[in-house]
Amino acid sequence: MSITLSALKVIGDQAFLAQAAAPQQGGGGGGGSMFTAMLPMILIFGIFYFMLIRPQKRKEKERKEAITKLKTGERVLFAGGFIGQITNVKETTFIIKIADNTKVEVLKNAVVKVLEKGEKLDDAS
């Protein structure tokens, strides 16, 4: 009886190995289907990049260029909602006059918008 059981075990092992090797004998058709499956994700990323990421980078670059060109006397809007006039430009900060006899020092990165002369802001800004 032990010969029969060992023979069945060998046959079972060979069947398992044959099944495991079967997908590898497919012939190389799997590469194209993988690309086809990934194509929608690649297209979505491409659209996402050109519609969102690229314009945002361009806008940020323009904002940084505007900050480097700021000088004394210009009005700016800050991330905290303050509007002030630049009284002194330092390497990484501005000294801003926000009211009579009230000056604060803020980081240059806090500038959201440079205000034109006479420009009014509303809540939507």
Q: What are phi and psi of 89, to 5 degrees?
A: -110, 125
The answer, yes or no, to whether residue 125 has pLDDT greater than 90, is no
- In the chain, how many domains are there? 2
Residue 58 located in a structural domain: yes
The pTM for the full model equals 0.55
Residue 63: domain span: 30-69
How large a percentage of the chain has pLDDT more than 70? 72
95: Cβ–Cβ under 8 A, 6 or more apart, which residues? 86, 87, 88, 89, 103, 104, 105
C-alpha 114: how far from its chain's center?
A: 25
Whether 121 is covered by a domain: the verdict is: no
How many angstroms separate the Cα of 92 from the Cα of each of 26, 49, 111, 112, 114? Answer: 63, 31, 12, 15, 17
Mark whether 51 and 81 lie in a shared domain: no
Any domain includes 79: yes
**What is the CATH classification number for the domain harbouring 79?**
2.30.30.100
Nearest to 110 by CA among 71, 82, 74: 82
Give the residue carrying structure tokens 């495991």: 20
Asked, for residue 125, whether it belongs to a domain, the answer is no
Q: Quick one: pLDDT band at residue 5, thresholds 50, 70, 90?
A: low
Residues 119 and 85: beta-carbon distance below 8 Å = no
- In a domain, residue 19? The reply is no
- Asked if residue 79 and residue 54 are part of one domain, the reply reads no
- 13 domain residue, yes or no: no
